[in-house]
Amino acid sequence: MTSKTIAILVHLTMGCVVFPALASASTEGGAAPVPSSPIAATPQPLLSGARLAGSAKLRFWGFDVYQATLWVRPGFQAPDFTRHAFALELDYLRDFTGAAIAGRSIEEMRRIGRFSDAKAEAWQVALRDALPDVKKGDRIAGLHVPGVGVRFLLNGKPFGEVRDAEFASLFFGIWLSPGTSEPAMRQSLLAQVQP
């Protein structure tokens, strides 16, 4: 992640950029909408002092898929990753459609936790809306905002978000949960994090 990308992420955490809510479908249980600037009053940027935690390449059937890089603040605890702000960047090494990324993400999220088919459908729609088609060399960064959701950047520029803390927990769990389908990748991403 470049210093420019980190600067944009810090800017986002200060509430200076407002994204349209992309998850138009309500989640199961009719959860109340999140206020438009839930972290605007935060006195310190959520990613101030962020440092590299680790990096790993995902290969599938011998093909390189993406290079993942995790950025965390001091005090980050892997077992409680959902309580921390962090950024996960994927540098794509192949072309994919946003719909394919969304579908695979939902499949992997089901490994991490249980959720209804209705919620899966709503989340898949939100992801399809939030994730563009990517070409080799594109970078998608996801910023975890605790208790709020995920803010996304494409090639260092903000482009969307999913405001749902449960979604964010399961989405980032794809890489950071002990239940991940890629435990070696998890270990590499958390290589510089104190146990």
Instruction: Report the amino acid identity of residue 10.
Output: V
Residue 191 has pLDDT above 60, yes or no: yes
Of 35-39, 50-54, 65-69, 89-93, the range with the lowest mean pLDDT is 35-39
- Nearest partner of 184 among 64, 56, 86, judged by Cα: 56
Residue pLDDT, tens place only, 111-133: 999 999 999 999 999 999 988 89
More confident residue, 106 or 18: 106
Helix H segments across the chain?
A: 3-13, 98-112, 117-130, 165-176, 183-189
- Nearest partner of 75 among 110, 56, 51, judged by Cα: 51
* Rounded CA separation 141/147 (Å): 18
Domain annotation for the chain: domains and CATH numbers: 1-17+60-77+88-195 (3.50.70)
User: What secondary structure does DSSP assign to 37-69, as a single string?
Assistant: -TTTT-SS-TTTT-EEEEEEEEEETTEEEEEEE
Residue pLDDT, tens place only, 14-64: 333 322 222 222 223 333 332 222 222 222 456 778 889 999 999 888 889
The alpha carbon of 182 is separated from its chain's Cα centroid by a whole number of angstroms, namely 16
Q: What is the mean pLDDT of residues 155-163?
A: 88
